[in-house]
Amino acid sequence: MNALAATNRNFKLASRLLGLDSKLEKSLLIPFREIKVECTIPKDDGTLASFVGFRVQHDNARGPMKGGIRYHPEVEPDEVNALAQLMTWKTAVANIPYGGAKGGIGCDPSKLSISELERLTRVFTQKIHDLIGIHTDVPAPDMGTGPQTMAWILDEYSKFHGYSPAVVTGKPIDLGGSLGRDAATGRGVMFATEALLNEHGKSISGQRFVIQGFGNVGSWAAKLISEQGGKIVAVSDITGAIKNKDGIDIESLLNYTKEHRGVKGFDCAHPIDANSILVEDCDILIPAALGGVINRENANEIKAKFIIEAANHPTDPDADEILSKKGVVILPDIYANSGGVTVSYFEWVQNIQGFMWEEEKVNDELKTYMNRGFKNMKEMCKTHSCDLRMGAFTLGVNRVARATVLRGWGA
């Protein structure tokens, strides 16, 4: 089942639990707007290259639409649609005043020079600048993009609309980015893990963790969890996978990956098959890479008691069912990885106010939002006698449905 089918399925299950009528259900599912644009740029060698850019704006009942822009060869409409819809429910679960959007350009950023990436970003912005905005749709970085990409979008957008730092989040600090934004998703994962373990009478300290993915989210989660006394016993990224049953020294690994661009070859752990990372013996598994990695083929072999979904849609519905029968507790992505969009919201607030916060305030506010989100999700689980995934979906869908009806859009 692809990401869009799985997201629609979860939405429909939540809708039935909430007793939404079919007209409202349909209006919540259909995207507000889908944008597809051609982006043609001159390459450094003088030839022309064309790329297709997408932006799906899913829902704006609760506020401006919010979501990342990814540069990846496999960006396609169904995936962007699914991720835009997930952002609608995620922002509602976090209880921040946004709707959902997602975008991207079908390209391989590793095969483009910096100047080519800049030209591509500026052309894309020129094509969509009238459809995004501080109170309309606020993009952010995603796979293959980062603070520099956001800086180019900000600059290009500002040529048409005047200086507008709040039009994007995840910007460089020097252009109005927020302190704490770089670590936000990983820190949110740590707070979410802490909240779940507390519910089960446990703490992070002494638990054994396996983390699939050592990019921004996985590496920050590993660093912060190890600082809380958690033992990271195995880690993987695109270069390979490593294991040390006594715990990996995360500070040393972070220094190593900066120099060698991957975990492969790290001395203080031994290499293992990257395909086996998800089934390694541990207490808590954190998939922090791609979607669909936990499926019916490997779900029975998973040894973790808890799964924290730091990636988007890492567990497919078949695996969900298998793991549920095994008693594995899954903390769903639309709650677990909402730290990034929550601190993006803080950045947007700071830009609109023209008043920047200290990093300690950002982190304290994030903890408050993550803890409140967990409490609200658990209340929905009790109300509807459902698991955490449906608790999160019913929480998010209910908030969006209420806003839609209150605005008179529910007919």
Q: Which residues are catalytically annotated?
A: 102
Q: Are 283 and 207 in contact (CB under 8 A)?
A: yes
Q: Are 125 and 154 in contact (CB under 8 A)?
A: no
Instruction: Write out the DSSP string of 184-201.
Output: HHHHHHHHHHHHHHHHTT
Distances (CA, A) of 211 to 137, 277, 284, 309, 406: 32, 8, 9, 10, 42
Among 308, 316, 390, residue whose Cα is nearest residue 11: 390
Burial of 97 from C-beta contacts in 10 A (0-12 / 13-18 / 19+): middle
Q: How far apart are CA 258 and CA 256, in angstroms?
A: 5
Q: At what angle do helices 3-18 and 388-406 cross, to 10 degrees?
A: 70
**Per the structure block, which two tokens stand in for 254?**
């972070």
**Per the structure block, which two tokens stand in for 329?**
């507790």
Distances (CA, A) of 319 to 280, 292, 326: 17, 9, 11
Chain centroid offset of residue 5 CA:
18
Q: How far apart are CA 179 and CA 355, in angstroms?
A: 12
Half-sphere exposure in the Cβ direction for 335 (13 Å, CA)? 32
Q: How far apart are CA 268 and CA 174, in angstroms?
A: 37
Instruction: Write out the DSSP string of 100-125.
Output: EEEEEEES-GGGS-HHHHHHHHHHHH
Per-residue burial over 197-206, b = 16 or more CB atoms within 10 Å of its CB, e = otherwise: beeeebebee
DSSP structural state of residue 278: G
Q: Is 71 in a helix, a strand, or coil?
A: strand
Q: How far apart are CA 207 and CA 11, in angstroms?
A: 33
Q: Is 4 in a helix, a strand, or coil?
A: helix
Q: How far apart are CA 260 and CA 269, in angstroms?
A: 15
